[in-house]
Chain A
Amino acid sequence: MRDPYEVLGIPRTASDEEVKKAYRKLSRIYHPDANINNPNKEAAEERFKEIQQAYRTIINKDAAGYGQSGYGNGSFGGNPFGGFYGGMGGTYGYSRGSYGYSQDPFGAYERGAGSEKYESRDARYLQAAVNYIRNNAFAEAMNVLNSVTERDAYWHYLYGIANWGMRNRAAALEHMQEAMEMDPGNSAYRQTYEQMQGGGEFYRTNGTMYGMPTDHTGGMCCRICIANMLCNLFCPGSFCV
């Protein structure tokens, strides 16, 4: 693939806004809808696909800022998990959710710590779950974990990770907390919990640019629509909350 910056015609130092502007400009020219009557419309479509791809590559890289916060650099290489995006930014679709750790989180299991106490069926399920998680197949991991009978700290840990991958934040936090409570000495559990808690840093940073919102909806309504008096009768509370 050509260098995405070259495709969009922008320098590497371009800001998000410049990237978007460049995309829009090119999209207007090469979008299929704009080339219906063009004799070279296949060429235009090819070019458009290239532009789309370039845009997504750049924006996803920028969006990785959402997850960086020191967890690892999003490499998909040696570490079984890629960068631990706080579940956001570039992780659309379950297939791209990758959750990295600074140490192999399955070390505890693979070193055989406590593996003797599992019935062999449970052990197989747990191993299957680990494999599913490594391949970002979180729904399958959850399925197999639901069949495990012995639900100890490690089970809660894996279940928490699988839930996080499915973007079930509440369950993920709950189970990770349970894992920590059942096995307070385990640093991997604590670390993962911290990472989950730390998610949203990029969002928070952006949010601090705004002051805390105060409730003006009453005034706004009056300025905009007096019909809201009648609306309060009919509307399902959609005005002046």
Chain B
Amino acid sequence: MYGYIVVNQDELRGREMKEYRRFYCGLCHALRRRYGFAGQSSVNYDSTFLAILLTGLYDYENVKRSRRCVVHPLKAQEYLENDAIEYAADMNVVLTYLKCRDDWRDEKKSLRYLYGRLLGARGQELSQAQGDKVRAIFGAMKHFAETERAAAMRDREEAETGQDACEDRQRAKKEPRRCSPSERLDALAAGFGDVLGEVFAWKNDEWQQTLREVGFHLGKFIYLLDAWDDLERDKKSGCFNPLIAVERRRTEENTQEKLRLWVHKLLELTAADCAAAFEQLPIIDYAEILRNILYSGMWTAYYKKEERR
């Protein structure tokens, strides 16, 4: 589910690309330093976005260093160090750990389990240092997982007995109205949005609410895009995907194309919300990189899927 928040490289200037790499390398180094190899290999672009966003918002004296590393053993590469990158590294580990845990639970991927354990072991100090934040994220993730389980159950029920039958039965029993597939999709996207909102709302200050908004809408975008990306695969494997029920409901012709347009519209509205929240932040430095990602880069996976069809 991660790795969607990337840059559109073609549209970044050379100087900006170098800047981006300094953050990515900085994140990698921070992860290595705090979490060892397990942490280092979890580095991803989404956390890089967070690191740049927070650095842009808060005034930091960015310490610039150079180092050789596994990938660049001959020539030292520049990278940045600051509190925002440290925080992004911590968040990176928390989210990766949670993903591993869920993958193990849902799909029994044993390598994920091992990896999760590795991270978890190194993450003990993190739980102590950032206790409240970690707890809040875990809590939000738990709520999201519950929402997903409930939605999957409703999905199965509807698939077996048919939506209308479900609604008739519920009306006959005078039960309160249940959610439609679209509402379930919204609830799930918002659930994941809450997780990322919690991650982005770093400090208890004047920008916490706005940062939370950025994270919330970004989380919704990621969830929707992931569901869209995995739709065919999930249909084949029988994995839960909220878009399956949405598609099933559509009885008109040209369902595929209409669904695509609908998903595109949803993604666009969500991205617009995210960008609007971002534009509220007084960010000057690195704003161009961030805008590249928000207005263009994060659609990469969507257009990649379009090209494949």
Contacts and interface: CB of A to CB of B under 8 A. Distances in A.
Contact of A227 (B3, B71, B115): B71
A199 B10 contact: no
Contacts of A70: none
Interface string B180-208: 10110111011000000000000000100
A168 B41 contact: no
B103 A235 contact: no
B241 to A, nearest CB: 14
A87 B300 contact: no
A66 B190 contact: no
A56 B210 CA distance: 11
A19 B70 CA distance: 43
Interface stretch (B21-29, B141-149, B154-162): B21-29
A95 interface: no
Interface string A218-235: 001000111110110111
A173 B59 contact: no
A87 B273 contact: yes
Given A88-B276, A217-B6, A224 B180 contact: no
Contacts of A23: 282
A236 B300 contact: no
A213 B10 contact: yes
Contacts of A224: 21, 24-25, 71
Sorting the interface of chain B by its residue count into under 10, 10 to 19, 20 to 34 or 35 or more gives 35 or more
B123 interface: no
B10 A214 contact: yes
Interface string A180-205: 00000000000000000101101110
A213 B303 contact: yes
B152 interface: no
A55 B282 contact: yes
A16 B279 contact: yes
Contacts of A151: 177
A17 B300 contact: no
Given A169-B266, A199-B272, A238 B300 contact: no
Given A168-B186, A220-B9, 9 more contacts: A16-B279, A17-B287, A86-B269, A197-B265, A200-B265, A210-B292, A226-B70, A230-B41, A241-B301
Interface of B: 1-4, 6, 8-11, 21, 24-25, 28, 38, 40-46, 59, 70-71, 96, 99-100, 103, 111-112, 115, 171, 176-177, 180, 182-183, 185-187, 189-190, 206, 209-210, 213, 246, 262, 265-266, 268-273, 275-277, 279-280, 282-284, 287, 291-292, 295-297, 299-301, 303-304
